[in-house]
Structure 1
Amino acid sequence: MNGRAGVATARAARSDGKTRLILAAEQLFAKGGIDGVSLREIAAAAGQGNHHAVQYHFGSREGLVHAIFVHRMQQMEARRGEMLAAAEAAGRLSDARAIVEIIFLPQLELPGQRDNHSYAYFLLLYLLRNDGRDFGDFGAELPPNIARALQLLRQRLDFLPEHIAQRRLVTACFMFLNMLTAYADDRVRSSDDESFEDAVDDTLGQIVLATCMPLGSARV
């Protein structure tokens, strides 16, 4: 093996090790809470012999938490790009339902999440830790397609102050994630009352109505 090939192999091994840590941490955080799992447990679950592998790759627990978020955002980027292009071709870039679908539906296509939804559980906890008041501020730099989708939604919500628009966005996330985690429960999934597809459709409609309603319109 020449020097260049050796460097490439080492980089690939580091990248693979980081991905294993990210996926193991997501699963463990989803079950035990972000602060309820030790970094050693995560390293062991990822098959890392080095107990300090998390610190080596991510610097800290918070660094790992942000890495999970960014990893999943990147996995959804291509699909969001396709949906943005389709919405633009159909003249629907200002349509609230189309924008909401671009933001939320790609999560259903994440690898390994169809019957697991560990990322949904993790993201619920992640959002509870986030205190950003600016619209779309989730504590990490966002890839361009999700950033564009959020910008389109913000334009649709231009009648709202920034902090209220952000609150509604976070609330919308909780609506969608609650639906996903409910259907991760075998008792709900086996029920004949409502299909998963119907639950997704109804939740997206709920999100559009709640997010886009005029300010103060719910007062009685």
Structure 2
Amino acid sequence: FGSKEALIDEIYRYRLPDIEKGRRAMLVSLDAEGRGQDFEMLLKAVWTPLFEQVDKDGIHIYGRFLRAMMRDGIEHTRQIVTSDYPTALELIARLEEKLPFGRGHLWELRWQIATDMVLDALLVIDNRKLGISKQARFIFEDAVRMASAALMASIDPQARF
């Protein structure tokens, strides 16, 4: 690969096509059902393909990779390939339209925290060796609900960020 950055880029390019396909299928289904503007359902469309992607041992290996990228402060490397995946961009745009406070630093901060919540839920699932079982799905979907509430939480109008 030549460098750490090239290896990271290759991991994204290997994993993201399947995730993009899952997101597209979910978004098409949501639109057909008239739920394509539902904030929580859009979040599920973003994150469910990560939940469903496990290795032969039922471990959310790509979720762990993303968590490591965030932990090491290099999650921005994901932006390198964002334009290659239009469904991800469409989902984010729809989510941003629903925000009570608009796009900007607060959205980016909350998105990072919400993503941490979901990725940490995958880690809990992995540590309990639940794979993609019914229990695992409950934990995952509960994390998505919590992330939705965190993203939509009101802000102090006097606060400055």
TM range (shorter): 0.7 to 0.9
Of 87, 90, 93, the match for 1:151: 93
Is 1:184 equivalent to 2:101 in the alignment?
Answer: no
- Contact kept? 2:54, 2:61, Cα under 8 Å: no
- Contact kept? 2:118, 2:143, Cα under 8 Å: yes
- Contact kept? 1:99, 1:149, Cα under 8 Å: yes
Equivalent residue for 1:98? Answer: 41
Equivalent residue for 2:74? Answer: 130
Equivalent residue for 2:143? Answer: 203
Of 2, 5, 9, the match for 1:66: 9
Task: Name stretches of at least 5 consecutive residues in structure 2 with no aligned partner.
Answer: none
- Contact kept? 2:121, 2:143, Cα under 8 Å: yes
Pairing 1:1-220 to 2, within 5 Å after superposition: 54-55=1-2, 60-110=3-53, 112=55, 115-128=58-71, 129-130=73-74, 138-142=78-82, 143-157=85-99, 159-185=101-127, 188-189=128-129, 195-216=135-156
Q: Name the count of aligned residue pairs.
A: 152
- Contact kept? 1:113, 1:119, Cα under 8 Å: no
Cα distance, 1:131 vs structure 2: 6.7
CA separation of 1:97/1:66 partners in 2, compared to 1, >3 Å: closer, same or farther? same
> Aligned partner of 2:43: which letter?
V
RMSD: 2.4
Highest Rg: 1 or 2? 1
Cα distance, 1:82 vs structure 2: 1.0
Q: Distance in 2 between matches of 1:211 and 1:82?
A: 24
TM-score by length of 2: 0.82
Cα distance, 1:153 vs structure 2: 0.9
Q: Distance in 2 between matches of 1:105 and 1:127?
A: 19
Task: Name stretches of at least 5 consecutive residues in structure 1 with no aligned partner.
Answer: 1-53
Q: Distance in 2 between matches of 1:131 and 1:196?
A: 25
Between the two structures, name the one with larger relative contact order (CA 8 Å, sep ≥ 6): 2
CA offsets 1:77-129 (integer angstroms, 9 cap, x no match): 11111111111112222211110000000112225266222212211121232
- Contact kept? 1:160, 1:215, Cα under 8 Å: no
> Aligned partner of 1:205: which letter?
R
Cα distance, 1:214 vs structure 2: 1.8
Look up the SS of the partner of 2:34 in the other structure.
coil
